[in-house]
Chains A and B, each alone.
Chain A
Amino acid sequence: MHGRLSFYVRRDSAIHHLNPLTKVVLALSIILVAFIAPWDWTATLLFFLVIVPLCFAGKVSREFFRSATRLIIPASGFIFIMQAFFQPVGQDIIFKFWFLDVTQESLIFAFRTSTRIAVMISSFTFFLLTTHPSELMSDLTRRGLPGQFAYVIISSLQILPQMQAKAQTIISAQRSRGLDTESTFLKRAGAIVPLVGPLVFGSLVEVEERAIAIEARGFTSTHKKTSLQNIADSGMDKIMRWVLLGLVITTLVLNIWLS
């Protein structure tokens, strides 16, 4: 049984070849610019003129659009409606729906907020689709992130799906002892302890064994760690990161200057 919590899609693209840290900076910069810029339409422009082309450049457009229809559009659509109806700003009522007012101001506010959220989710999605978690963690570790931290994150990606399988077996075992998981809500609520108990205790046993196993492979060694993979950090990467930082700072300055 195997599964993995990972959005990463393996492709041979210019984006995939970028250093992982560069991609982090890229994704974060897009989000920061969307939120800091003082204009209402920045987020929308960023989405269509930056993120979407990047996805094509990264050859992950199909996966991105699948994510867009499943997550990005519904999420931002929901926020738009919430903000449009429930944000108490403005006098210029455009229409009423029952007891809810939609004003021009609230529409603009809703537009701004929902497009920013859309940019945030899409930027993350783009990042996850094009960045291998192991490579990211290896690179960050090389730059000084504690090894234990990286280990916890990566191993969770693989071990959590396994725990799901374990949970299924526990449910089966307890049902076989007459635990009622099919009838009333109250009975199902009472079923929590017999289901969570073995999961937690069993996992503690496993965690200790795994700690011994990784210790047996030098995990706590104080040697400088080496890496099987050679993760390149080209001059181009470094320049890009500085340029992106510059863009964020420029946006911040513009924001302060224009307000």
Chain B
Amino acid sequence: MRIEIKDLQFSYPAGVQALDNISLIIESGEQVAIVGQNGAGKTTLVRHFNGLLQPTSGEIKIGDWNTRKQSVAKLASRIGYVFQNPDEQLFSRNVKTEVAFGPKNLGYSNEQVEALINEALEMTELSNETETNPYDLSPTWRKMVAIASIIAMDTPIVIFDEPTTGQDAANIARIANVIKTLRERGKTVITITHDIDFCAENFERVIAMAKGKILLDGKANEILGQEEILATTYVDPPQLTRLGKKLGLKSTIINEAEFLNSI
């Protein structure tokens, strides 16, 4: 499912212009990371995809749907959005009911819901916690419940808003695994992230934003080496990229395998 954005302008009611003439195409199955300083417009942009925000001018199409013409509830069948703070989402008496919420809203049959839940729980290593109250779990596992709740909706596009904030290495690895599985299933995955190493290791395309505009947009190994431009939006290059640069390696390194092959 393709995302097509044409000439998007957005200003908040108070008058602040948050997005300035954004045009963008994200093809089906792409893995995209959006980076940039706070206030650059990353979250504002992404909230237009599922209709939470409507453009002041310009148009967004998700597949054949124009976001102006569909409710947020309907767009939820095409876009799953994992919010940053799981505690702003969890309310059910147990994990199973929580994860069932999304797919039920989308109108799946009981059998389908059951199948979707089981799959989502397996992907997030929560299969043994179906009867547990989400708030009895640690923040680490509450994060995975929130992710499972969105995956279970089986949407062609999934958005992660700062998925690694506050997570330890083990959970970041779990989240990376989830994203890998989604990629293998042909889903489009879009993430907003400050963790540039996580970005380099899991996303093939990087969009850098600043002040409501797109600064850079391209393949990770083209974008992440552009230190000076990234610095203007307070993005540091990934650690291995920096290492590669200091060692004078020709290509921009974005992961361990590339590094080891280059030296």
A–B touching in complex (CB under 8 Å): yes
- Pairwise interchain contact A180-B73, C-beta atoms closer than 8 A: yes
Tell me the minimal C-beta distance from B12 to chain A in angstroms.
Answer: 12
- B60-81 contacts to A, CB under 8 A, are 71-73, 76-77, 79-81
- Pairwise interchain contact A178-B87, C-beta atoms closer than 8 A: no
Cβ of B101 under 8 Å from chain A: yes
Cβ of A166 under 8 Å from chain B: yes
Tell me the minimal C-beta distance from B52 to chain A in angstroms.
Answer: 5
- Pairwise interchain contact B101-A194, C-beta atoms closer than 8 A: yes
Contact of A201 among B71, B72, B77, B91 (CB under 8 A): B91
Cβ of B237 under 8 Å from chain A: no
- Pairwise interchain contact B88-A178, C-beta atoms closer than 8 A: no
Total CB contacts across the A-B interface at under 8 A: 72
The distance in angstroms between the C-alpha atoms of A29 and B55, with both chains bound, is 54
- Pairwise interchain contact A193-B91, C-beta atoms closer than 8 A: yes
Give the bracket for the number of chain A residues in contact with chain B.
20 to 34
The distance in angstroms between the C-alpha atoms of A177 and B80, with both chains bound, is 7
- Pairwise interchain contact B150-A201, C-beta atoms closer than 8 A: no
Cβ of A153 under 8 Å from chain B: no
Q: Mark B72-115, 1 if CB is under 8 A from A, else 0.
A: 11001101110101011111100000000110011000000000
Contact of B153 among A177, A193, A198, A205 (CB under 8 A): A177
- Pairwise interchain contact B71-A174, C-beta atoms closer than 8 A: no
The distance in angstroms between the C-alpha atoms of A198 and B86, with both chains bound, is 9
The distance in angstroms between the C-alpha atoms of A211 and B153, with both chains bound, is 37
- Pairwise interchain contact B87-A205, C-beta atoms closer than 8 A: yes
Contact of A178 among B52, B73, B85, B91 (CB under 8 A): B73
A169-B83, A194-B101, A201-B135 as given contacts; A176 in contact with B76, CB under 8 Å: yes
Chain A binding surface, main DSSP class:
helix
Cβ of A9 under 8 Å from chain B: no
The distance in angstroms between the C-alpha atoms of A249 and B80, with both chains bound, is 67
Tell me the minimal C-beta distance from A163 to chain B in angstroms.
Answer: 12
Chain A residues within an 8 Å CB radius of B153: 177-178
Q: Nearest residue in A to B49 (C-beta to C-beta)?
A: A176
The distance in angstroms between the C-alpha atoms of A197 and B47, with both chains bound, is 23
Chain A residues within an 8 Å CB radius of B105: 177-180
Cβ of A172 under 8 Å from chain B: yes
Chain A residues within an 8 Å CB radius of B79: 176
Contact of A175 among B76, B80, B88 (CB under 8 A): B76
- Pairwise interchain contact B52-A175, C-beta atoms closer than 8 A: yes
Q: Nearest residue in B to A204 (C-beta to C-beta)?
A: B135
A194-B101, A201-B135 as given contacts; A175 in contact with B87, CB under 8 Å: no
A178-B106, A180-B105, A194-B101 as given contacts; A202 in contact with B52, CB under 8 Å: no
Cβ of A208 under 8 Å from chain B: no
Cβ of B50 under 8 Å from chain A: yes
Contact of B72 among A175, A193, A197, A198 (CB under 8 A): A175
- Pairwise interchain contact B88-A177, C-beta atoms closer than 8 A: no
Tell me the minimal C-beta distance from B135 to chain A in angstroms.
Answer: 5
- Pairwise interchain contact B73-A175, C-beta atoms closer than 8 A: yes
Cβ of A157 under 8 Å from chain B: no
Chain B residues within an 8 Å CB radius of A169: 83, 85, 88
- Pairwise interchain contact A177-B91, C-beta atoms closer than 8 A: no
A-B pairs with beta carbons under 8 Å apart, 11 shown: A169-B85, A172-B83, A173-B83, A173-B88, A174-B89, A176-B50, A176-B52, A180-B71, A183-B71, A194-B101, A197-B90
Q: Which A residues contact B (CB, under 8 angstroms)?
A: 166, 169-170, 172-183, 193-194, 196-198, 201-202, 205
